[in-house]
Structure 1
Amino acid sequence: MPELSEYELEREANIARNRALLEQLELKDAVGQLGVPAKTKAPAKSKAKPVQPSKRVKREREVEAPRRQSSRLKKEVVDPNESPSKKRKREAEHEERLRKEEEERREAEEKAREAKRPRHQDLDLTTLAEELEPPELITLRAALQTAVTTPLPKRVGEIDAFVFDEDKKDDAAVKDLRNRLQKMKVVARAKVTQDRVYSAAYHPEVSKDLIFFGDKHGQLGIWDARAPPDEVADEDDDVAAADDKEGGKYWRLQQHWPATSKSSISSVKFDPMDSHSVFTTSYDCTIRRMSFISGISQEIFSSDETLITSVDLPPDGNELWISDAAGGLTHLDLRQDKSKARWYGLSDQKIGSVSINPTTPHFLLTASNNRQLKIWDSRKLQTLMVGSDSGGTNVDGPPQTGAEFSFDTVQEFVESKKGKGCLRGEFSHGKSVSSAYWDPRGRSIVSTSYDDTLRLWEFDAAKYNSSTAFPSFTPFSRMKHNCQTWLTILRAVWTPNPDVYPHFTIGNMDHSLDIMSCKGDLIARLSDRSRITAVQAVTCSHPSIVERAATGNASGRCVLWAPPDLVA
């Protein structure tokens, strides 16, 4: 065998070093090319498959104004022997063409500007659902008509309901609830909205599971979760497997405009008097009400540039209390013009949620970024009058409307003798309070905070009749819960059903749905690793049926949780 040259020896040494390095790094393909057997195994694929949308709707692109073209490129070739008459005709045609192009450019620019402006006019169902085909629009109208066959007012619990003298009775109620709710499974999935789900509400109709979801781009998704789904084949004419296809039917309405993150729907509420219309608040600084009867969406409130974060209505449905990012609450009487609304600066930072006590509607609960949870007496708050000093009240007539009261003005009033009892209680959290709500009895409160803690309060209803601050405003229970998420804010939401032991739902970063009692007991932790692979950030429950809950995630996919024997 001939002796290798110094160059060849160096080459062989380099090959050996490279092979050893590749083996150390476990680079399968590269090692294979060098003749080294692979040692690594392919990673196991997730068993969970995303639900396959039955229809793909392209979002309309923004209208772009035509670009100006170079005069040099558009320059015409002129015949040097052109007659005067032809020259005049050519110049006239050129001027006419330039005029039309300018008109088209201005029209396109106006359409582009219009596409970015909020829509303040009344909108009919055809406009809201302009991307739906006529048969889909017919089925939507039919679903909404089912929801208005009878009035379904918001039901309010008794303030002393489920108040037991013995802990054994609480334990028995929790055990019974646990036996019912732990059986719930995923019975339907669908991509109801095109973008991240921000809010949700469960309609009280009992013959259907009709759930409304608001998304990041102002879209309102309506999901009839148990309706027979349409069989839709893919490009290869293959129909999705039962576990992969969507359940029920859904429709998407562009309730707020433009279709960007500036129009995120922050909350969804049904009319508490009959549930025949739905209210939506949006980051476009407007509130709209869509009637299921007429199919008309009407703007009922708008602010200049202040983001609206939430809204709540008392059981009589005649008023709105609106929270905003400027730290204020706005009171709007729906029987008056929206110009009569009154704004109160209750915080020096954003108020993320407002909740009206259902049994004592003059108690308002606010959660703020300044870490404070507060209870206000709206009767006192509405005695503030324009042009008065810090202690002034309107004693000569009804409260003045169309006024604004700054944070400093409200603070001075609260600290004055005449403002005594306006602020009934406050509690400081470790970090921002992301949400706080009253239970259906108006007796318990649950709050969520970025300090990763859920807190529970329970009040003695006998103290409600006093006019002074609550003697104690300390939560009786604190539960650790991971709320550090870049997704939609996790909120603990009470089930609105007053006939069952009070409990609430909240999403879990472990891709589960947590259900907890008003005493802080974990009732159920629902999950399905084979079908759920995302955080169920937004939750809601049926107002009358105990074993019903719905959730939504950051991709617009939504889930119905119910007993497994439920016929879809």
Structure 2
Amino acid sequence: MGEPKRRSAAPGEEPGKGLSAYELERLENIRQNQAFLSSLKLFQQSSARRQKPAVVKEVVPSRRSLRLQNKQAEVLTLPPEPRETEVVKQVKPPGPLPMEPVNMAEGSELPPQFLQLCSEVKTPNRVEISQGVELDLKEYCSLLKKMRISEDQVAKVVKERIFSAAFHPASTSLLMAAGDKYGKVGIWSGGDWGDDGVLLFEPHTRPVGCLAFSKAHPAQLLSLSYDGSLRCMDVEKGAFDDVYGIEDGLKTFDFLSHDCATLVVGDWYGNVAIVDRRTPGTSHESLHSLDPKVVRCVSVHPLQQQYVAVAESREVSIYDARCLKKTRSQPVSQLQGHSLSISSCYFSPCTGNRVLTSCMDNYVRCSLINFFFFHLSVRRHDMRTGRWLSKLSAVWDPKQEDCLLVGSMSRPRRVQVFHESGRLLHIFKDNEHLSTVLSVTAFHPTRNAILGGNASGRLHVFSD
């Protein structure tokens, strides 16, 4: 049976009368819900939204490739290059230049003590050194341990990062030179002249990549710069003479004769030039293209000076300077084994039968030459200096044929001496006076002393 129909309220009859309790409860729920919805005013908001004008969306035509339309692409023009007045250019200073220290009053004369020290009687040359008697390793290490550093053996010699440094051969006093990032050359001896014993000159405009005192004429300091100039600071003349020059990009040089009159010069473009200082002008005698990239270092054999070692990218080639051609010169021999760029290569200073190489692959190699075949001894060494430090390069001790010096990235900061076999002989360190990386290092040619140059222009000296 179906559910009986329920009677709705008659007109005039009270609402809900005759409804069941369930229906009355349902009606009450509906009433409460309507009251709640009315309180939210939803219907008013919906009506207001309907009264707002509709936003008209702009119809953008679809993009079509110019290639599909068989049309030429639009040619865009680049903005104009900056005018020359807006670009700061470094211009090489004309030469010869007077030796006027930039850290002294204008018109100041060079100190007499400086002139006397630079002109000191020359020390034995490479041939004379090679005939001397070397110390055994026990005596040698004993001398190294006696070398110390003190407060007066640290000085700011140049204003910026040191790229090169060298000892003057004088033996009575320590005289040093350093070249920095912006072409300045500082001379320091600890004397009472200049600025705390420093004479600062400005012969170049870009990094001074190589410095060397003439062994035949101690009063002459040759300096090479990335700005393309090679100059000779002649203390007796009081001037920086022009020796050789190109537009830019000189990298390295070495003396090609015992009288230091002839040079071999390498540049950033893979060329080496033979330069004779006795020839008038600043040009080369001959120019030879060796490597399409860069010549990073050249080194002349100390006894047979016709042989030149050249660091070319990842290998070292040994050439006979008498047989060099304009292009495609054939090396006498080649040293291979490094996997990255070689930063330096040097013949050993006495006999020249060893070649020392430093490389960005974190290896220092000492190669023994026997009829121009190489037998390698290798030592791993952290060479990752980054962009703010000069590259580390191992250098020979000119007084000891089989020992070398190199800076270090290790802490506490230090400089290390190794035997050619890779054995560590001594560590130079001092917590009070040495707290930075000494990238550029050198041994004194006759005295028991070493120097190290850092990125702030300071030289540190250890001596007995």
Give the TM-score range, shorter chain: 0.7 to 0.9
Which residue in the other structure is 1:312 paired with?
254
Of 69, 87, 91, which aligns to 1:117?
91
8 Å contact kept, 1:367–1:435? yes
Matching of residue 210 in structure 1 with residue 175 in structure 2: yes
Q: State the identity as a percent.
A: 24
Distance in 2, matches of 1:195 and 1:267, equals 15
Residues 160 and 249 of structure 1: CA distance in aligned 2, closer, same or farther (over 3 Å) = closer
Offset at 1:501?
4.9
Query: Post-superposition shift, 1:479?
Result: 0.3
Q: Distance in 2 between matches of 1:189 and 1:135?
A: 28
Between Structure 1 and Structure 2, the one with more strand by share is 2
Q: Report how far residue 319 of structure 1 moved.
A: 0.7
2:204 to 256, 264, 283: 256
Change (3 A) 1:276 1:153: farther
Q: Does 1:525 align with 2:441?
A: no
Q: In the TM superposition, what is the alpha-carbon distance from 1:113 to its structure 2 partner?
A: 9.7
Counterpart secondary structure, 2:374:
coil
Instruction: Write the letter of the residue equivalent to 2:230.
Output: I
How far apart, CA to CA, are the structure 1 residues paired with 2:94 and 2:106?
25
Equivalent residue for 1:274? 217
Structure showing greater relative contact order (alpha-carbon pairs closer than 8 Å, 6 or more residues apart): 1
Structure of larger gyration radius: 2
Which blocks of at least 5 consecutive residues in structure 2 are unaligned? 1-83
CA distance in 2, matches of 1:114, 1:430: 38
**Matched-pair contact (CA < 8 Å) for 1:363–1:375:** yes
Map of 1:133 onto structure 2: 105
Residue 177 of structure 1 aligns to a residue in which SS?
A: helix
The answer to whether the 8 Å contact 2:368/2:375 transfers is: no
1:176 paired to 2:118? no
Secondary structure, aligned partner of 1:279: strand
Paired position in structure 2 for 1:429:
338
Query: Secondary structure in 2 aligned to 1:186?
Result: coil
How far, CA to CA, are the matches of 1:527 and 1:177 in structure 2? Answer: 18
AA aligned opposite 1:445: V
Partners of 2:401 and 2:338 in 1: CA distance: 27
CA contact (8 A) 2:208 2:226 kept: yes
- Structure 1, unaligned stretches of length 5 or more? 1-108, 164-171, 233-247, 258-262, 385-404, 415-421, 464-469, 564-568
CA deviation profile, 1:171-221 (whole Å, cap 9, x unmatched): x81121111102222131111110000000100111110000000010101
Is the Cα–Cα contact under 8 Å of residues 159 and 443 in structure 1 kept in the other structure?
A: no
**Is 1:351 aligned to 2:325, yes or no?**
no
Decide whether aligned partners of structure 1 residues 342 and 526 sit closer, same or farther in structure 2, where only a CA change above 3 A counts: same
Give the structure 1 partner of residue 385 of structure 2.
485
Does the 8 Å contact 1:440/1:502 carry over to 2?
no
Q: What amino acid is aligned across from residue 182 of structure 1 in structure 2?
A: K
Q: Structure 2 residue aligned with 1:444, among 354, 357, 360?
A: 354
How far apart are the structure 2 equivalents of 1:114 and 1:131? Answer: 24
Structure 1 distance, partners of 2:273, 2:393, is 22
Offset of 1:425 from its aligned partner? 2.8
Rounded to whole Å, the distance in 2 between the matches of 1:549 and 1:325 is 29
How far does the alpha carbon of each residue in 1:223-245 deviate from its partner, in whole angstroms, 9 at most, with x for none?
Answer: 103x3599x9xxxxxxxxxxxxx
Amino acid of the residue matched to residue 338 of structure 2?
H
The two structures, once aligned, show a CA RMSD in angstroms of 2.6
Distance in 2 of aligned mates of 1:508 and 1:255: 30
1:493-504 counterparts in 2 under 5 A?
A: 493-497=395-399, 500-504=400-404
- Verify the 8 A CA contact 1:162 1:501 in the aligned structure 2: no
TM-score by length of structure 1 reads 0.61
For residues 209 and 288 of structure 1, the distance between their equivalents in structure 2, rounded to whole angstroms, comes to: 23
Aligned match of 1:368:
312
Instruction: Kindly indicate whether the alpha-carbon contact (under 8 Å) linking 2:349 and 2:401 is maintained by their aligned counterparts in 1.
Output: no
1:150 equivalent in structure 2:
121
Question: Which of 263, 277, 281 is matched with 1:334 structurally?
Answer: 277
Q: Do the aligned partners of residues 347 and 428 (structure 1) sit closer, same or farther apart at CA in structure 2, a change above 3 Å counting?
A: farther
| Inter-partner Cα distance in structure 1 for 2:217 and 2:369 | 29
Distance 1:130 1:114 in 2: 22
Q: TM-score, normalised by structure 2?
A: 0.75
Partner of 2:140: helix, strand, or coil?
helix
Verify the 8 A CA contact 2:126 2:302 in the aligned structure 1: no
Structure richer in helix, relative to its length? 1
Change (3 A) 1:138 1:561: same
3-state SS, counterpart of residue 126 of structure 2: coil
1:58-77 C-alpha deviation (Å, 9 max, x unpaired): xxxxxxxxxxxxxxxxxxxx
Does 2:327 correspond to 1:377? no
Equivalent residue number for residue 235 of structure 2: 292
